[in-house]
Chains A and B, each alone.
Chain A
Amino acid sequence: MRLLIGILFTFAFAATAGLGATWLAASRGYGFGEVTVGSWTAAPRKGSADIDPFARAALARSGELPLGSGDGITFLARSDDDGNPLDGRCEITVAGSTPLARYWTLTLYTADGHLVPNALSRYGFTSAETVRAADGSFSIVIAPLSRPGNWLPSGGVQRYQLALRFYDTSVGVTAHVGRESTMPTIKRGACP
């Protein structure tokens, strides 16, 4: 009897822990080979044949087609530089300069990868349409109500994430991304 209970316990534990860990890995991946700069995180190997099995499982579950590493790289941010989650009711400023790339785009997404709804149907900026300062740096304000300059409507959603994509760039291809790449800062301003 004790043997039977022991076996049942072992099997139940194995199934729960094993499947639970798989669900976690498939939802988020384990982040092997991820590169983090400030609040931004990228997974350069996701777009190459070196992708790890956990990231592959996560892709199969999400249905995303990752950018190829020869094409570009995606950096995601879920929080500002002080660690607060990105809130669409607040004023968030993304400012600074970017690593060298032919083009970059900044896009707002919900947690599941949908665009953030807003009345203007404006979901992001490209490097070509962003107004810059004389030194080449830029500042984009993400807020529910319109602002002068580079303004992205947040639609007032409670949570969103930012995707900063670099196209035709050496970022992610070279081994030393991270330290020497300058990424824009994410600062929170006024909140209701």
Chain B
Amino acid sequence: MIRWLVWLAGGVLLGGIVHIVTVLALPAAATRDSYARLAAETPVNEVALLPQPTPERTLLPFMDPAFATAICRFDLSDGPLKLQVPLTQAYTSITFYTRRGTVFYAINDQAAGRRVIELDFMTPAQRAALPEDEEVTAADRLIVESPSETGLIAVRALAPEPGALPVVRGALRNARCGTPPA
């Protein structure tokens, strides 16, 4: 009896280790995470307007149907990106996700205070490599540093009522994400 309890205790301990290791490994092993789902539908370093979710088909689960969503799937290995998002009448937000789906930055139209949100997006190393004089003018430039080289930028714009959706989707079509002109 005692012997079996010892084996069981060993099993519980080992099970705990298995649990923790698999939980930590799962995000890296997931093949149907948000990035993988969008990789098939969106180009790299360009803005792609996602179709509105319907009961039959939703690219990602739990999308808010009152919002139009555009995705820029970024890869910073070739240099920094410039993101330009025209603001819509109601509410626009930009959220930055790492390759594993963790939010590292979010901004909304209120914080931007202009009619277009413009920001430069780069890795910490690329920011360190910015020429000195550019860093001076950076005061009125919004620079976002990315902890990961690849990931997702989600631009969401609200249609306060369904009739406003075509206008909002039209505005998001004018969002730009790409390498800045040299």
Chain A interfacial positions (CB closer than 8 Å to B): 2, 6-7, 9-19, 21-22, 25-26, 47-49, 51, 53-54, 56-57, 59-72, 74, 102-103, 105, 107, 109-110, 112-117, 121-124, 126, 128-129, 163, 165, 167-168
> Is there an interface contact between B55 and A116, defined as CB atoms closer than 8 Å?
yes
* Known A-B contacts A56-B27, A57-B27, A113-B61; A70 and B107 likewise in contact (beta carbons under 8 Å): yes
Chain B interfacial positions (CB closer than 8 Å to A): 3-4, 7-8, 10-19, 22-24, 26-27, 30, 32-34, 36-37, 53-56, 58, 60-62, 64-67, 90-91, 93, 95-97, 100-108, 110, 152, 154, 156, 158-162
Interface of B is mostly: mixed
Residue of B3, B10, B13, B100 with most chain A CB atoms under a 10 A cut-off: B10
* Known A-B contacts A63-B34, A72-B93; A168 and B103 likewise in contact (beta carbons under 8 Å): no
Contacts of B7 in A (CB 8 A): 6-7, 9-10
What is the chain A residue whose CB lies nearest that of B107? A70
Contacts of B93 in A (CB 8 A): 68, 71-72, 167-168
> Is there an interface contact between A74 and B18, defined as CB atoms closer than 8 Å?
no
Interface of A is mostly: mixed
